[in-house]
Amino acid sequence: MVSKLLKLAMIFSTFGMLGLFTSCDLVNRVEVKAARINKYEKVAMQLAYKNRQLNVKISKLEHQLQALKSKNNFLNIKMNKDGPTIGRLPASIVSGKNDLVQQGIYKWSPGQLLATAEQEFQKRNFEKSSQFFQTFITEHKSQANDQLYFQAGIAAFESGEHHDWALQSLHEIVAHYPQSKYYRGAKLWMALTHLKLGDEGKFYATVEEFRKKYKNTPEWKILSTHYASIRKKYSR
């Protein structure tokens, strides 16, 4: 009798241990699964947050695009309304065979002048670009801005023929747009124009101004690599 009871106890003990091991394994699997679910939930929340941010950015960009379209439509309407500028100012700013604008014949509108000037600038046809820029400035100065003056100044300089136009356009930025992002660049291109014209003193004075006032600028980083040779060659 006692031996039967002992056998039964051992059997129950064995099943109990098996049940315990099975239960522990089940708990471990549940914990792993829960951890995975928590991880997926966190990832899903992060993706949802990023998605909301992207939607906000898309909405802002769509708004900016619509604003640009509206502005473009307004400018087109204004330019079409202005029409050709006949008889108000000289037909051309260039005399002789090298007149690439021929405003007296074609009567370019403001939009056409500006579009051609910028297209030729991108193609590095600086002579033609500078003539169209200068015609635009001469006939429609009230519509010019700092970016236009900067491009016009560089085009005139690079043409190699119109240093007076270069100085005039760049001076407009220095004199009237002190907060412009083109301000320091205008000063530097003016200095290079003076150097091209043989006025080494004005060139060196600008270099010294950059050394004293604009040391933390990209322009000075360019000049500083040549400063020693510039000082030796042009200082007096």
Q: How does DSSP classify residue 141?
A: G
In the numeric block, which tokens belong to residue 103? 């405003």
Nearest Cα to Cα of residue 163 among 190, 136, 135, 201: 190
The domain 103-234 belongs to what CATH superfamily?
Tetratricopeptide repeat domain (1.25.40.10)
| Domain layout of the chain by residue ranges | 1-82, 103-234
φ/ψ of 117, rounded to 5, equals: -60, -45
CA 110 to chain centre: 25
pLDDT < 70: residue spans in the chain: 1-43, 55-57, 59-91, 95-97
Q: How does DSSP classify residue 161?
A: S
- Interatomic CA distance for residues 164 and 197, integer angstroms: 10
Alpha helices in 123-145, H assignment, sequence order = 126-139
- Interatomic CA distance for residues 226 and 166, integer angstroms: 24
43-75: pLDDT as tens digits? 677 777 777 777 666 766 665 565 565 556 555
- Interatomic CA distance for residues 161 and 180, integer angstroms: 27
φ/ψ of 199, rounded to 5, equals: -90, 80
Nearest Cα to Cα of residue 135 among 159, 158, 103: 103
pLDDT attached to residue 160: 94
pLDDT attached to residue 13: 53
- Measured CA to CA in angstroms, residue 113 lies from 44, 94, 134 at distances of 54, 15, 9
pLDDT attached to residue 88: 43
